[in-house]
Amino acid sequence: MVIIGSFHTTMLFVFQLLYSLFIISYSMTNSMNLSSSPIIITKKTEDNPLPIQTLFKLPSPIPNWPPGEGFASGTIDLGGLELCQITSFTQIWATHEGGPEGLGATFFEPSSIPEGFFTLGFYGQPNNSPLFGSVVAAKDVVGEALRPPIDYTLVWSSESSKINQDGNAYIWLPIPPDGYKAVGHVITSSPDKPSPDKIRCVRSDFTDVCETDAFIWGEDANGLSFYGLRPTNRGIGALGLSAGTFVAHNGVNNTMPITCLKNVNGNLTSMPNLSQIQALVQAYSPVIYFHPDEQYLPSSVSWFFQNGALLYTKGDESNPVAIEPTGSNLPQGGSNDGAYWIDLPVDQAAKEQVKKGDLQDAGVYLHVKPVLGTTFTDIAMWVFCPFNGPSKAKVGIINVSLGKIGEHVGDWEHVTLRISNFNGELKSVYFSQHGAGVWVDAPNLEFQSGNKLVAYAALHSHAMSPKAGVVLQGNGGIGIKMETGKGKMVFDTGSKYLVVGAEYLGSEVVELPWLNYAREWGPKLDYSIDGELKKVEKLIPGFLKAKFEKIVRGLPREVLGEEGPTGPEMKNNWNGDENV
């Protein structure tokens, strides 16, 4: 267990080191500075500039991180293939229709490549968000890790397309020499085949299997479409990473012509050490807003235990026991076999008190993980609420309270910050929502006080959301309401947090006993869904009853709240990728 406090003394202590780091990072940003690079902005259409015409920057500059090993040093070594991040681009082609929101997409050639590094592929992005991507360029350290393509195949051209476009596009697939693979396409504005020197192919042992990620653009359902890429094997310690390039892919052919990269030695030196984790949390820690009507707030786990939570044993239900502050008397390991569960205190007054949580005392629990070939750090921030309140539904224009449906004891939600290990920049954030969730890229996040992330916890369910408002989970105007809003109840996660898991740091982080408790944090439901539905349906117009019931019964178990949840370490995303 590591309690994080002030880091100013460390900052002073390492001033000299910081200074030399500053010199390095200064020269790096200077050579890769976007404002000084030949960016050609997409042609303006009518009076409305496209979102992509703005270059995204976090509200505040990225701070100088405290010194460590390889974190935020600008380059990452994959075991003989050294990478740097390129965010400087020259526009090659744009179309103003199709793609996300029908705004088209723009394709770029990476520019300002540092001495000794080579482009691996070009970059493409939908026009509906500010320009914010990056690709990697590579330097051959072992020798023989990179080779120019032997030729190119023209895979698509926009010549005969009747689309609204700036010039024509020709998309080329590099043909790699034997034993090498292409990790990106080249795109040109003339039909002439590009020079083999435009790009490098990568030796097969530095590549990994990949799949399509977000849709960028496509002409029609039957033609070729452009997608981002992500490695097929993801999660903690997985070695694959995308080069940031795109793939032109015909959905019918499952053979992916472009591959991902692989961190061959799984080198962890690019990961932040504890001082750097602390600085990252100070820079980005979410400010979580609870709904103005919320009655069930978070607490620390030890507060929950010390205020009367009880451990029940199957077959001995009449003898629940109090739980030690660290959970040291909870059964360790095993599986979620229903042999034990946690419940609120028996005494009615104590029960109501514990359900409300204690915002002042609440903290977040951090799990820090190397992902995407250790080119990124995921910081999963877990929030515990003693009680998840009942759900509310919307049927047409009618608001319906769902009785006890959705209620359960013990609620674990999280947000995950994905941070680049090249420079410590926040790239995207995952918001957990009832066992599922969404990734949101930095340009679409809300920030306050510099680069601190704003997150909203939904009324009663505490599902995390990047926006305030009402989202309906269902269809046809009928569904469960996820309501978020900026109330006065605010949880500043940066003020109280605890690193509870960072396997790569070895014995520096000691796991708390409650993390290793495999059973449920609440009892199985003590009400009947049928009974609750009957009560609720009395309020719903007859012709909508069947549809309403179908939607409620089709909800995931986490939303219905039929049983208490398991703890963070028992969830698939503790070791795996987030559930998307």
Residues of this chain that interact with ligand NAG (CB under 6 A) are: 14, 67-68, 70, 77, 253, 255, 257, 265, 267, 269, 273-275, 397, 399, 470, 483
- Helix (H), strand (E) at residue 2: strand 2-3
**Which residue has the closest beta carbon to ligand NAG?**
77
Q: Least Å distance between CB 532 and ligand NAG?
A: 20
| CB-nearer residue toward ligand NAG: 321 or 470 | 470
Q: Least Å distance between CB 64 and ligand NAG?
A: 13
| CB-nearer residue toward ligand NAG: 77 or 411 | 77
CA neighbor of 24 nearest in space, from 58, 56, 71? 71
Distance CA(119)–CA(450), nearest Å, equals 33
Distance CA(270)–CA(267), nearest Å, equals 7
**Residue 396: left if φ>0, alpha if ψ -120 to 50, beta else—which one?**
left
Count of CB atoms situated within 10 Å of the CB of 572: 11
Q: Is the separation of the CB atoms in 210 and 256 below 8 Å?
A: yes
Alpha-carbon separation of residue 121 from 125, 135, 310, 556 (angstroms): 13, 8, 57, 41
What's the gap between Cα 154 and its chain centre?
35
Q: Extract the tokens encoding 260.
A: 């991902």
Distance CA(174)–CA(120), nearest Å, equals 10
Q: Is the separation of the CB atoms in 392 and 55 below 8 Å?
A: no
| CB-nearer residue toward ligand NAG: 2 or 55 | 2
CA neighbor of 375 nearest in space, from 283, 508, 238, 503? 238
Q: Least Å distance between CB 82 and ligand NAG?
A: 7
| CB-nearer residue toward ligand NAG: 173 or 323 | 173
Q: Least Å distance between CB 453 and ligand NAG?
A: 24
Strand boundaries in 240-359, DSSP class E? 240-241, 246-249, 260-262, 287-290, 310-313, 321-322, 340-343
162-188 in b/e form (b: 16+ CB < 10 A) is eeebbeebbbbbbebeeebbbbbbbbb
Distance CA(503)–CA(492), nearest Å, equals 26
Alpha-carbon separation of residue 359 from 194, 305, 441, 493 (angstroms): 60, 15, 28, 11
| DSSP letters spanning 448-490 | ETTTEEEEEEPTTT--EESSSEEEEEEETTEEEEEEE---S-E
Question: For residue 87, which amino acid is it?
Answer: T
Q: Extract the tokens encoding 27.
A: 């020269």
Count of CB atoms situated within 10 Å of the CB of 221: 7
Distance CA(367)–CA(396), nearest Å, equals 41
| CB-nearer residue toward ligand NAG: 101 or 508 | 508
| CB-nearer residue toward ligand NAG: 221 or 397 | 397
Count of CB atoms situated within 10 Å of the CB of 222: 10
What's the gap between Cα 240 and its chain centre?
16
| CB-nearer residue toward ligand NAG: 259 or 300 | 259
Distance CA(430)–CA(278), nearest Å, equals 20
Q: Least Å distance between CB 554 and ligand NAG?
A: 22
Q: Least Å distance between CB 34 and ligand NAG?
A: 27
